[in-house]
Structure 1
Amino acid sequence: MAKEEEEVPEEVTKLREAIAAFTAIEDDADCTAAVSQALRDWPELHSELRKLREDRVNALRTERRMTWAEIAGVIGKVTPERAQQISKGLSGAQRKKNQRAAEQRPGE
């Protein structure tokens, strides 16, 4: 039995096409410059995407009254606990920082 293919949103396909456009730049210097600009802009773009996801996860929870398990299913490949962390804006780095801090607290 073949594994069902996951439906890819159009926006993700467009993002992949944009990346392919970088690959199609024939001149190495032009390609390097274009990719470098995109990478310089990436931290801001990444933050915008994370905030958008956080806001939409919270809308699913409050407006649609979805459970964390249901939201995890929408996100895909995350646990309900991770879905809840996303709703709070916790990144992987922030979760690790919080975990280290909790481990260093004596008597807890």
Structure 2
Amino acid sequence: MAEQPEEVLRFLEAVKALEEIDDDAACAVAITKVLKDWGENSARLREIRQQRVLNLREQGKTWQEIGDIMDVHYTRAQQIAKGLRGNKRPTKKEAEA
């Protein structure tokens, strides 16, 4: 397994900590609170990733190089730059436009 950035490890540790809550009710409540905010944060993560991919492109990286960096196919890197989701649906912003 490739080395994970510290932030990814912290996120995975947080998920594990939720799973390890002994009290079923407390665990369910904690996870519900996380999931209530997940949608907004998921969209924000996609926006940040898109901007970073665009930044890499502006730095002169090829789509192949960006795909390799992200461990995705170069066409997926292009889709991310356009704001397309994996299922090819437009982002919420695009749908509202």
Give the TM-score, by structure 2 length. 0.86
| Separation (CA, whole Å) in 2 of partners of 1:96 and 1:43 | 16
Matching residue of 1:19: 15
| Separation (CA, whole Å) in 2 of partners of 1:96 and 1:23 | 31
**Superposition deviation, residue 24 in structure 1:** 2.1
The structure with the larger Rg is: 1
Matches within 5 A, 1:1-108: 5-62=1-58, 64-76=59-71, 78-93=72-87, 95=88
Deviation beyond 2 Å, 4+ runs, structure 1:
none
Aligned residues: percent identity? 43
**Superposition deviation, residue 92 in structure 1:** 2.1
| Separation (CA, whole Å) in 2 of partners of 1:51 and 1:68 | 18
**Superposition deviation, residue 48 in structure 1:** 0.7
Q: How many residues align?
A: 90
Unaligned 5+ residue runs, structure 1?
98-108
| Separation (CA, whole Å) in 2 of partners of 1:92 and 1:73 | 17
Give the TM-score, by structure 1 length. 0.78
**Superposition deviation, residue 14 in structure 1:** 0.3
> What letter matches 1:91 in structure 2?
R
